[in-house]
Structure 1
């Protein structure tokens, strides 16, 4: 962790597919880069099952959340179904780092917005709002 990363909101991308989670994380990181010295919020992908299949793994989510936690909160974005339910269960059981939130946002657009906002150093509520605002993105 660089000094610039400390104190930034962490982002966890939870998908049924490890490839999808990693690809979205890579895209969001790439679009958040503001320059060679600009910090990028810590982002971790938590996709698929331990055996490489499609599905959701509570252990992968916990590991990813701990990896990105810098003390400013963790925003978790999930793709659908059991990934959402698994994050909700982890929150209900108080297993995630303090300040963790499930963000209601579209997975790809919300992830990009969340990483860009977090990289700008805004607090968790603003990261959550930026991601949720992605529902309003119109393509036509």
Structure 2
């Protein structure tokens, strides 16, 4: 199954986003990672790399990020990892929910899950 990693500058935000996505994603492996490792705001490539390893079962991982340096640090972590992973260009919450649902499909691939996450950019809220 395709795994998901939610990266946020806030540990609490990452946890909450992963919690919401898990409600829709059944058995999807979702790992939140956020904060600077000392209780502050930020992201840490080593923590992201560990999250990639935690959810990877050999089929790959889609990474959802909030903004700015989370993208850069996720890309650094992917380069360091022994995991096939991609960063989705998607709104983090809606993208995580879409990706979690897509990952439950028996025909899910890294590309189809990333595409469903990115389709969340088109969601109208009103």
Q: Do these two structures clear the TM 0.5 threshold for a shared fold by scoring above it?
A: yes
Q: Which has the higher helix share?
A: 2
Unaligned runs of 5+ in 2: none
Distance in structure 2 (CA, Å) of the matches to 1:119 and 1:53:
33
Equivalent residue for 2:32?
45
Equivalent residue for 1:111?
96
Q: Tell me, what secondary structure is at the counterpart of 1:116?
A: helix
Matches for 1:88-103 after TM superposition, within 5 Å: 88-91=75-78, 94-103=79-88
CA drift of 1:130 comes to: 0.3
Length-normalised TM-score, structure 2: 0.94
Give the aligned CA root-mean-square deviation in angstroms.
1.1
- Is 2:124 aligned against 1:138? yes
Distance in structure 2 (CA, Å) of the matches to 1:69 and 1:52:
26
CA drift of 1:53 comes to: 0.8
Distance in structure 1 (CA, Å) of the matches to 2:82 and 2:20:
25
Over alpha carbons, which structure has the higher Rg? 1
Length-normalised TM-score, structure 1: 0.85
Distance in structure 1 (CA, Å) of the matches to 2:101 and 2:82:
21
Mapped contact 1:105–1:132 kept (Cα < 8 A): yes
Distance in structure 2 (CA, Å) of the matches to 1:79 and 1:72:
24
Mapped contact 1:73–1:97 kept (Cα < 8 A): no
CA drift of 1:88 comes to: 2.0
* Matched pairs, number: 125
- Is 2:10 aligned against 1:23? no
CA drift of 1:111 comes to: 0.4
Q: Tell me, what secondary structure is at the counterpart of 1:87?
A: helix
Structure 1's consecutive aligned runs of 4 or more residues displaced over 3 angstroms after TM superposition are none
Corresponding residue to 1:125 among 103, 111, 114: 111
CA drift of 1:98 comes to: 3.1
